Structure 1
Amino acid sequence: MKIFAKVLSLITLVALLLAGYVVWASTAQVSAEGYLVEAAADRADSFTGVIGALRNGSENIVAYDAENIGSVEQYLFVTYTIRIRNSDLVELEWIDIALQNQPGDVLLVKPTVQDIPAINESLLSCTLMVERAGFPNYERAATLSYYIYGHYKEIPITLR
């Protein structure tokens, strides 16, 4: 009977440790890896494609001030890169990012929805189109959202 009690105690301990790990690891580790600024004129094909996607109502485009888009020389593309680490035993699903726009932001090209497998990491990029005029500040507050175990989670992050 003592052996049976010890085995049950061991099984209970392992179950508690596993439950603790699941709770600890269910929050993704997120870090901003920096940004790259490029003139939209240097990526004229991308500019044309983004404007076309905006006019066609693409779900990956978030318009902030895109009513009167001018010529390609008036804009810059700022591409932010974010590293997301999943330490959990199940994948992170439906990852999305939302930026708090600032004056001069025209539109955001969001990444396509992707999942991050269990115990893995991934880089996520999103591109912000901003007006060239003025002295732009490229630092942005953002919120990364995802689902894990069927629960919605949000993580605030500063992109710099």
Structure 2
Amino acid sequence: MTDQTTAGLSLASFTAAAEHAGRWKAERGRAPHYATGHTQWWTCLACPLDGCEWHHDDPHAAPGEAAVLEAVVREHVAGHDLVDVLASLTAARDATDAVRASSDRAWEVVQLRRQQAIERGEHPYSDPVAQMLSAALVDAECHQAVRDQLGDIGRG
């Protein structure tokens, strides 16, 4: 990939894709890791290409300058074929869209259950299915009870 090919892509698109890739790969137990929320931690910028294990850790205690980070990411990405990079980013976007659509469908079920509770003369938040599903969707602390029950069933 040449500088002319990447010239139209902004710093934000490179670093955002690399940061997203770092999180995504870390969540799936792949080599790049990601940690945030503490001054001793770092942001992991990873190659957005599936199968590429390249990553760069940017420590929160001494973060790199935006231009330097852009150069590091651009230098690595330039070693890949543009078609492969774009295909990987498109697949990531499509996967994100699919997750968002799935979440939207689950919220529709919550809305339906709440509406049905109202029609039964009950409080809209009284439906146990809607409560459990909405807790799962927002990862509320009360959803831990569901995880505990599943663990009990698996052990039993």
* Same-fold status (TM-score > 0.5): no
TM-score normalized by the length of structure 2: 0.24
TM-score normalized by the length of structure 1: 0.24
Flag the structure with more relative contact order, 1 or 2, with Cα contacts below 8 A and sequence separation at least 6.
Answer: 1
